[in-house]
Structure 1
């Protein structure tokens, strides 16, 4: 089965632009109750994943940085400790099982690496549960 069947499209997913501020990222995480966000570059390409831990380590390790001036740090300048591997929209579900073991979501891109959306780990597990029990 193709990944497109399970795609949660970009317009229904919270994500952050690489040029957004650390404060905007924190607000997105809080608003959506997420622990990680896909990052999209100015061309719309998937550029990585930003996690709560990335924000906390940046806050801890940057002298003078606090909640009042987090708007001065761009997402692209934050060190990312996690790299969620993306898959092509043409990939099969079998290609995602290993990724789902380590990632809450799998970013999906087109042939030009443009971010199309995500497939949630929950959906991957449910797919395999249905196929195991059927």
Structure 2
């Protein structure tokens, strides 16, 4: 459980955690693999969300997943890029969160193993991303501002009084 003081300061910044869907690069599950390859390469992202026709997150796709399909035992071929669809290659097991329902501590624990978490609403519709980077920025805010709002006295000093 978070310290109440830290929880309060992080909650002050929690609204800024979400990078809205309108600013996120994504692909549709029925896109050809070459489309995902182009998006990932041009945007210089390692991994992006995959959405279905109802804007629900159904997977994640990475450059590594795509290049793995291009490798044969003896060669590299681009044939898979036009033969396969994103849904044929995408990661289907991944964590998502709902910003209203998922506690801050749970978000932090999930970000230990994920560079980002897709954020969905109650119907599973993609709302945006929560990134480890945004959480680190919030932690930086706490570190630099906790003394401005709270008087912190080490417990060892209390015993001396």
Q: TM-score range by the shorter chain?
A: 0.7 to 0.9
User: Does 2:78 correspond to 1:67?
Assistant: yes
The number of equivalent residue pairs is: 133
- Structure 2 residue 115 is the aligned partner of structure 1 residue 86: no
Higher helix fraction: Structure 1 or Structure 2?
Answer: 2
Pairing 1:51–2:75 present: no
Length-normalised TM-score, structure 2? 0.72
Unaligned runs of 5+ in 1: none
Contact 1:93 1:124 in 2 (8 A): no
Q: Sort the Cα spacing of 1:64 and 1:77 in 2 relative to 1 into closer, same or farther, 3 A.
A: farther
Stretches of 4+ moved more than 6 A in 1? 62-65
Query: Over the residues paired in the alignment, what is the CA RMSD in angstroms?
Result: 2.5
- In structure 1, C-alpha distance between the alignment counterparts of 2:96 and 2:29, rounded to whole Å: 17
For structure 2, list consecutive stretches of 5 or more residues without a partner in the other structure: 1-10, 147-161
Out of 3, 9, 27, the position equivalent to 2:38 is 27
- How much does 1:45 deviate? 0.7
- 1:76 is aligned to 87
Q: How high is the TM-score relative to the length of structure 1?
A: 0.85
Considering fraction of residues, name the structure with more strand. Answer: 1
